[in-house]
Every structure is written in C-alpha cells, then in structure tokens.
Amino acid sequence: MSVLTKLASSLGRRDEVPNQELAIQIVAANDIAAIKELVENLNNKNKDIHNDCIKVLYETGERKPELISAYAKNFIALLDSKNNRLQWGAMTALSSIAGENPKAIYPALAKIVAVADAGTVITKDHCVKALIKLCGVKQYAADAFTLLLEQILNSPPNQMPTYAEGAMPFVNDNNRAAFIKTLSSRLGDIESDTKRKRVEKVLAKISGKK
C-alpha cells in the first residue's frame, strides 16, 4: 500500500495529526521505503500531497534524523520553492539533519542563510538551529559561528535571546570578543525586560569565563 494513502489530505483531514502519526510509524518501523516515496512526491502536482509529504518528513527527521539525512540535496533544492510551506518545511528538515550529515549541509550554507534572511521567522529559526549544530562539528565550527553571529546581529529582537543562548556553548577564546560585541550592540533593541535579562545573563556568563 502506498504511504500516500495515510497522509492527512488523503484521509480528508485538515489537521496534522495523521501526518504526525505517520512519522511516528515510520520511525518505529525504520521504513526507508516510505521515506523514499515521500521524497519522490515532494514535487507532486497536488499541493496538499506535497505539503503533507514535507510535514511527515521533517516530523520524522526531528525524531530520527538518520532516516532522512540521505536526502539533504532534495531539501536544499526545495529552498528555492515559491511554496512557503515547502520552503520552511525543507529548512526544518535540514536543521534536523545538520548534525547527522554536516558534509551535505556545509556547502549549501550560503544558500541556506540567504533563504533565511528573506524568509519567515520559522525559516530563520531553523537556519539558526542548523548553524548551531554545525558549530559542534570541528571542521565547520569557525565558519558556522561567524554566520551565526550575523544571524544574531540581524535577528528579530524577540528571537535574539534564544539564538544567543543556543550559541553560548560554542563561545571560545577566538570568538568571545565578537560574541560579546554582537550581543551588547543589540541590547537596546529588546523592549521586553524578560528577554533583555536573558541576553544579559548570557553576557554575564560569557564575560566571566576564563
């Protein structure tokens, strides 16, 4: 039976529960064939089907990234889609596999960042998550952290504390000064006292490191 019959749209559902349940089933069964079929239908002419496919794929990736990591190039190609759901869905998938398949993600960083810069908050969030994972990969860490600083510098004020907290574990003697400078330059942009205190807490911890 085709996995497409289990998609929300195929079942006449308007909610995402069937897609989430399908992802759980795929993970439990390590269903590589289902993953392959879903990827093949990311360009299905039926918008509902390809939207459901990307949903199931990134839900699968969030639970077990190795199941979708081989399809990094497919997700990177979708970043050019004019369908916003496919674009941010692809970015979500990429963020889940960045730690699993960094060699495939790294060469596409310029494209990933450009799409995030012009994209939705969800797209930006998952770009940052991908960069944070790459910061944990030794050969890509320096470049990824530089790009991460740029994202923090240009991020919406409401997102900045989360980005700063995510970057904090990767601050070292080589990038600490730039990190402190970037965060300090944005403090005045944060209207929320709670969010500003979160950034100030990050600054205090980083400044206190020896």
The mean pLDDT value for 79-108 works out to 95
The whole-angstrom separation of Cα 11 and Cα 40 is 20
* pLDDT bucket at 50, cuts 50 / 70 / 90: very high
**Tell me: the pLDDT tens digits for 118-170?**
999 999 999 999 999 999 999 999 999 999 999 999 999 999 999 999 999 99
pLDDT greater at residue 195 or residue 210: 195
The mean pLDDT value for 193-204 works out to 96
The whole-angstrom separation of Cα 49 and Cα 153 is 37
Q: What is the mean pLDDT of the chain?
A: 95
Structure tokens at 156: 């919406």
Does the structure show a pLDDT above 70 at 83?
A: yes
Q: 80 with 46: CB under 8 angstroms?
A: no
Q: What is the pLDDT of residue 210?
A: 45
Does the structure show a pLDDT above 90 at 14?
A: no
Q: What is the pLDDT of residue 1?
A: 73
- Percentage of residues of the chain with pLDDT beyond 70: 99
Does the structure show a pLDDT above 70 at 209?
A: no
Does the structure show a pLDDT above 90 at 208?
A: no
What number of CA atoms fall less than 13 Å from residue 202's CA on the CB side? 26
Q: 175 with 209: CB under 8 angstroms?
A: no
Q: 54 with 85: CB under 8 angstroms?
A: yes
Does the structure show a pLDDT above 90 at 87?
A: yes
Does the structure show a pLDDT above 80 at 177?
A: yes
What are the C-alpha distances in Å from 164 to residues 22, 51, 161, 186, 196? 34, 31, 5, 11, 11
